Structure 1
Amino acid sequence: MNETAAALFETSADELAVPVPTTDTLYAALQAAVVELGPAGIAEVRETFAGLPADEFEEVAGCRQFAYRLALSFWYAGARSRPLTVGEAAVALYLSPAHRHQADALTTRAPLLVSRSIRQGAALVPLETLVRLGRAVTDEFTTPVTRGVTQVNHGAPGPSRSGVTAVTPGRDWLCRQALPDHRRRRFCFDLMRADTHQPSPLLVRLDGGGHVLGATPPPGPDGTWARTLRAQW
């Protein structure tokens, strides 16, 4: 992984800075770096790269994170994988038996309970459903609250809008049915967004179609399991 990060830093650090690249873009950049530098060049830049402090050079930290993403993406043969998003992990935690415990037990007295609960909850629904619910919960807690028209009574006379039903973003019918407790949704989402020391499993997309739950990966370069708001395939 160090060689990958060093090669990306040497050849593509500026181009990959903004916007956040897709995994396919990262892989293409790595392939180009291998062609440009060759084995000897990569070994040379690796030594230089290893001496650069990540806290002083944000590009160093970024390229190490990119290398970590690539390693996770190709964790399995014949598949692509990624960590659960904040929303997906929150949904899994919501669906798990963890609601029987107090909030402080989830974070202090039994810190590994969260990790186990995420895996247990994720196994309770089809993973395609977990992805959909994760997007809905993320939209609910990250999208500015606006009110939109979803239903109009066309029989209402004149300019009257009494037949209008307004909804907030991120609340589709499946989310309302599967995750009805707003306070619990909020707690799970905030916990998964803030607590980066709780590991969660990989979501694996098989080349032949379908998804399976994968292994729990090692922590990232910063020693945490930081989750993103949006899926990064």
Structure 2
Amino acid sequence: MMPVSLTERTSEQGLAPFLVERRRAGEVFPRIPVGSVELTREQAAAGLFTQLKWLPVIPQDWELLAVLDHAVTSLGVDGLEALYPEVAALPELDRDASKAFGYAYRLCVEHWYEGATSDPIDPDLMGVALYASDLPVQDPSALAGLSAVVDGHMAEGIARLGTERLVALATGMELEFGPSALDPSGPGFKKQWKAYRAAMPDRERRVFCDAVAVSRCSGGPRPLMVWFETAEMAVGITPPPNPHGQELQARWQARIDAVREGRA
């Protein structure tokens, strides 16, 4: 049963854009377009490893692509391929190698589909979708680790709302729960805030859905939000995790579990 309000939802959402993956047959991750060439995740990691000193602390995607282009110009694709075993042989906890592989993974995710860019769905979008779903309000901790359950309800909510309305309402979710201290009644926000509160009037449900979304978004790969060059939007697949980060994540999880057991 659909939750209270969201009454402005139309019954006809229109056809979703057709998603075409860029992965080639047998590939786990798509290649990254850099100028006139396409790099594998491994080649990109090798190239980024050589350019880390030129990157800011928190680089934008265009900055990653710019230094990769420089690496291709300097070493060529064959040079990056030859360098990769040296980078891959570094310890899992090597900071520079970890950064390089993490950035390469990020670019693969961004370029998952033809004619579009994508990134993991954020808590605001997921929170709105969960509000529109049949997920009952409960203790959010009861859903910890149940990613498939949460993602199923998220898909249900998106199907009910459509991506355009989802994005519009997510502005209100960000105003209410986001880290930035924005005044919902301030200039430029009044209309969005009013529409958000009218569509999602149940404060208890909003708080619950935000908590579940934040927890889910901090727990492993999540579905992709796809932004087409035509300004259309769609929800894509959940990509595989970053292979280079799995051992590191396992070690951190073991430490967290040990601390929890000590406190029990």
TM-score normalized by the length of structure 1:
0.73
| Distance apart, 1:49 and its partner CA | 1.4
Structure 2 equivalent of residue 132 of structure 1: 168
Quote how far apart the aligned CAs of 1:114 are.
0.7
Over the residues paired in the alignment, what is the CA RMSD in angstroms?
A: 2.9
CA contact (8 A) 2:172 2:193 kept: yes
Residue aligning to 2:112: 75
> How far apart, CA to CA, are the structure 1 residues paired with 2:108 and 2:186?
44
Structure 1's 67 and 198: CA in aligned 2 closer, same or farther, altered over 3 A? Answer: closer
Q: Which residue does the alignment assign to 1:92?
A: 129
Alignment-derived partner of residue 123 in structure 1? 159
Cα 1:95–1:147 change in 2 (3 A) is closer
Deviation of 1:75 after TM superposition, in Å, equals 1.1
Query: Which residue in the other structure is 1:212 paired with?
Result: 234
1:145 Cα offset (Å): 7.0
Amino acid across the alignment from 1:89: M
Paired residue total? 203
Equivalent-residue separation in structure 2 for 1:136 and 1:38 (angstroms): 47
Structure 2: 5+ residue runs without aligned partners?
Answer: 1-40, 250-264
CA contact (8 A) 2:90 2:97 kept: yes
What residue number does 1:193 align with? 214
Is 1:107 the counterpart of 2:173 in the alignment? no
Instruction: Provide the secondary structure at the position in 2 that maps to 1:14.
Output: helix
CA pair 127-189 structure 1, distance change in 2 beyond 3 A? same
Shift in CA distance, 186/212, structure 1 to aligned 2, threshold 3 Å: same
Q: 1:62 to 1:173 in 2, by over 3 A?
A: farther
Give yes or no for contact 2:175–2:184 (8 Å, CA) kept in 1: no
- In the TM superposition, residue 176 of structure 1 has moved relative to its aligned partner by 0.6
Q: Deviations over 1:42-81 (max 9, x none)?
A: 1233122112335341x33332222122112221112222
Residues 184 and 16 of structure 1: is their aligned pair in 2 closer, same or farther, counting only changes over 3 Å?
farther
Sort the Cα spacing of 1:100 and 1:187 in 2 relative to 1 into closer, same or farther, 3 A: closer
Where does residue 201 of structure 2 map in the other structure?
A: 180
- Specify the code of the residue in structure 2 equivalent to 1:6: A
User: 3-state SS of the aligned residue for 1:82?
Assistant: strand
Work out whether residues 200 and 206 of structure 2, in 8 Å CA contact, stay in contact via their aligned partners in 1: yes
Aligned position for 2:11: none
Q: Could you tell me which amino acid in structure 2 is paired with residue 191 of structure 1?
A: V
> What is the rounded CA distance, in whole Å, between the counterparts of 2:184 and 2:173 in structure 1?
17
Preserved CA contact (<8 Å) 1:85 1:134: no
Question: What stretches of structure 1 of length at least 5 have no aligned partner?
Answer: 151-166, 225-233
Q: Which residue of 1 aligns with 2:64?
A: 26
Q: Are 2:144 and 2:215, in contact at CA under 8 Å, matched by a contact in 1?
A: no
Cα deviation 1:177-208 (Å, max 9, x = unaligned)? 22222333223223332333365321222223
Q: 1:45 to 1:143 in 2, by over 3 A?
A: same
Partner of 2:50: 10
TM-aligned CA distance change 1:78 to 1:186, over 3 Å: same
